[in-house]
Copies of this chain bind each other. A is one copy, B any other.
Amino acid sequence: MKIAALGPEGTFSHELAVKISGDSEVVLFPTIKRVFAEAEKGECFGLVPVENSDAGGVGETLDGLMDTGCRIAAEYYMPIRHNLASDGVPAGGCRVLYAHPQSHAQCSRFIEDLGIPVIHTASNADSARLALQNPGSCAVTSVSAAKNFMLDIIRPDIQNSDNNITRFLLISPDKGEYPGGISEVRKTVSASGRRKCSIIIDPETDRPGLLYNILGVFAGEKINLTRIESRPSKRGIGSYVFFIDFEAESGEKLISSLKRIATVKELGCYVMEEV
């Protein structure tokens, strides 16, 4: 089964898709929204970034999980390394810098010291392409995108944190059985035997203590939340939904308790990868 990922060639999504695809074909799309749309048709998996340890949640992916019928089949962690690259321009000679907004946020310290104008781009690969096309410019980009556009890496590892990791999700509209072709998906338990489940909770009404009652259901069953992230419900400012990941085999009992106090969208249970 094919994997749809965010392109163009040389993005971190593309790099990871190639790594996990085995013999499967990787197809690239220009937006995360398109990746969700392709995966929703059921003819391929989708691979999407969901959170970065430095820059936080990826809004387009959270919206895709909220708005489409896609569920989570697997998770992956990918260490992120950013580089300053150019076509023969030394670091001191860069007059303008191309950077994706997320990459900019993740390399903000280095970029600030550089002190040159930054132009935002749609992807790290686009940054590399623009640096090749515009004399005197440089790009923040991945090793693989620099290589694709034959740029020199003039400063490696310019990210703020050496601990910079992005978590990716493999998505599919299926309800639990994954037809294989991707070896990692076939696993049903991790090395540690742990699994996690993801849900979206929509409190719908806002009253003091409601989120407390929701978390009380987890505390009552001694279930560990591995992540909680709020997002606008899009019903108006001050109204939120919560993306929650928790460690559990199936979460069945917990979810039925939660459904008594709020609307729950189940995103699936899957192997918990070690970071």
Q: Does A209 sit at the interface, judged by CB under 8 A?
A: yes
Q: Does A12 sit at the interface, judged by CB under 8 A?
A: no
Known contacts A105-B59, A215-B211, A222-B208; is-contact A238 B234 (Cβ 8 Å): no
CB atoms of B236 and A275 under 8 A apart: yes
CB atoms of A218 and B229 under 8 A apart: no
Q: Does A150 sit at the interface, judged by CB under 8 A?
A: no
Q: Does A188 sit at the interface, judged by CB under 8 A?
A: no
* Residues of chain A in range 66-99 having any CB-CB distance to chain B below 8 Å: 77
Chain A positions 224 through 252: 1 when the CB is less than 8 Å from some CB of chain B, otherwise 0? 11111111101111111000000000000
In-complex Cβ contact of A227 among B167, B227, B238 (8 A): B238
Which residues does chain B contribute within 8 Å of A141, judged by CB atoms?
none
Q: Does A181 sit at the interface, judged by CB under 8 A?
A: no
In-complex Cβ contact of A237 among B118, B121, B165, B216 (8 A): B165
The residue of chain B having its C-beta at the shortest distance from the C-beta of A236 within the complex is B163
CB atoms of B33 and A112 under 8 A apart: yes
CB atoms of B215 and A212 under 8 A apart: yes
Q: Does A182 sit at the interface, judged by CB under 8 A?
A: no
CB atoms of B236 and A211 under 8 A apart: no
Known contacts A56-B59, A120-B120, A237-B165; is-contact A219 B209 (Cβ 8 Å): yes
Alpha-carbon gap, A240 to B242, bound state (A): 14
Q: Does A21 sit at the interface, judged by CB under 8 A?
A: no
Tell me the interface secondary structure of chain A in the complex.
Answer: mixed
Known contacts A211-B225, A212-B212, A218-B209; is-contact A232 B108 (Cβ 8 Å): no
Known contacts A211-B225, A226-B238; is-contact A105 B51 (Cβ 8 Å): no
CB atoms of B212 and A227 under 8 A apart: no
Known contacts A212-B216, A224-B208; is-contact A122 B112 (Cβ 8 Å): no
Q: Does A161 sit at the interface, judged by CB under 8 A?
A: yes
- Which residues from chain A sit less than 8 Å from chain B, CB to CB? 33, 51-57, 59-60, 77, 101, 105, 108, 112, 118-122, 160-161, 163, 165, 167, 206-209, 211-212, 215-216, 218-219, 222-232, 234-240, 275
